Amino acid sequence: MRVGRIPYINCYPVYGAIDRGLVTLEATLVDGTPSELNGLIASGRLDMSVVSAVEYARDSERYLLLPDLAISCDGPVRSVMLFSRHPAEDLDGRKVIVSRSSMTSAALLELLFENVWRCAPRFVPGDAELSDVRRFDREEHDARLVIGDAALLLGAEASDAPRYPHVYDLGAMWKAWTGLPFVFAVWVALRSTPVKAALDVHAALIESRDWGLAHLGELARQASAYSGVAEPRCLEYLTGLDYGLSYPHLAGLTTFFGRLVERGRVPNGTLAFLPAA
């Protein structure tokens, strides 16, 4: 069994107990950005993985969702941010660099420009890893979508010396627009994965997730040491995320998928879950 893991801070609560040897996972962990893991599982090189929500919608007949496991927010997410030198509604035709690392964040940004800010920027693919944060000003651009740990670090710096006077949290913008939570990532298994093996991995992930949610202070210290973001900010970030997949989260997820289907960006499909043991 090969299981994908995003090595960002937002996955610490799910994998923390596994990394510490407190929960046994009978599988090999494979690290990668969301887009890298999307490609690996789509090509059959992973059996199970956390993936961008859009990857599930793109090929739902290939995957089964793992119940009660996702990365979502019900308001600010703090790690999916648009940093802009102009108000968002004034970015029509202007250059917006979009992180290649997350299909879901890019799709959400496009929906917000179409429906909330009502303008059409010129989107240009780019990178936004933690090591790139201090190089952003070298590229000519009017705004930049930044995700993950890099967004946390850039957001912390912006509060002290703003390079971007206009900062938009995409989780908060979705909540204001729809009134619903937003699901950025889900865990899936290939439908070809043996059910017993998939259930065992799912149970280990849930057990590790539950440990992580009970030890967010410890994980925030680890996150701060890794990223350079202040520990209180890391703790605020982790406590603001939700790692379940309840009815309200599913409502937000299906609303997002429905809007993408309307625009022909993903095929129409249904949600299908790994069967219970």
Q: Tell me: the pLDDT tens digits for 64-81? A: 999 999 999 999 999 999
Instruction: Please say whether the beta carbons of 169 and 78 come within 8 A.
Output: yes
- 40 and 54 fall within a common domain: yes
- 84 and 66 fall within a common domain: no
**Is 148 inside any structural domain?**
yes
**What does the pLDDT read at residue 160?**
47
- 68 and 121 fall within a common domain: no
- CATH code at position 50: 3.40.190.10
- 56 and 188 fall within a common domain: yes
Number of domains forming the structure of the chain: 2
- 159 and 100 fall within a common domain: yes
Backbone angles phi, psi at 125, to 5 degrees: -65, 145
- 88 and 159 fall within a common domain: yes
**What does the pLDDT read at residue 179?**
98
Closest CA to 127 of 97, 95, 96, 99: 99
Strands 122-126 and 63-73: unpaired
Q: What is the mean pLDDT of the chain?
A: 92
pLDDT tens per residue across span 179-215: 999 999 999 999 999 999 999 999 999 999 999 999 9
**Is 242 inside any structural domain?**
yes
**Is 275 inside any structural domain?**
no
Element (H, E) at 49: strand 48-52
- 95 and 147 fall within a common domain: yes
pLDDT band at 139 (very low <50, low <70, confident <90, very high): low
**Is 227 inside any structural domain?**
yes
- 65 and 196 fall within a common domain: yes
Boundary-marking domain end, from 127, 157, 178: 178
- Indicate the residue type of 61: E
**Is 232 inside any structural domain?**
yes
| HEC string for 182-205 | EEEEEEEEECCCCHHHHHHHHHHH
- 162 and 84 fall within a common domain: yes
Boundary-marking domain end, from 130, 146, 178: 178
How many Cβ atoms from other residues are within 10 Å of residue 213's Cβ? Answer: 18
Task: Give the three-state DSSP class for 25.
Answer: coil
pLDDT tens per residue across span 84-110: 999 999 999 999 999 777 889 999 999
For residue 242, count CB atoms less than 10 angstroms from its CB and return exposed for 0-12, middle for 13-18, buried for 19 or more.
middle
- 104 and 174 fall within a common domain: yes
Which residue range forms the structural domain that includes residue 137? 80-178
DSSP assigned state of 114: I
How many Cβ atoms from other residues are within 10 Å of residue 76's Cβ? Answer: 17
**Is 38 inside any structural domain?**
yes
How many Cβ atoms from other residues are within 10 Å of residue 162's Cβ? Answer: 11
- 55 and 108 fall within a common domain: no
Tell me the longest C-alpha to C-alpha distance in the chain.
53
- 208 and 241 fall within a common domain: yes
**Is 129 inside any structural domain?**
yes
**What does the pLDDT read at residue 117?**
98
**Is 223 inside any structural domain?**
yes
Boundary-marking domain end, from 178, 196, 222: 178
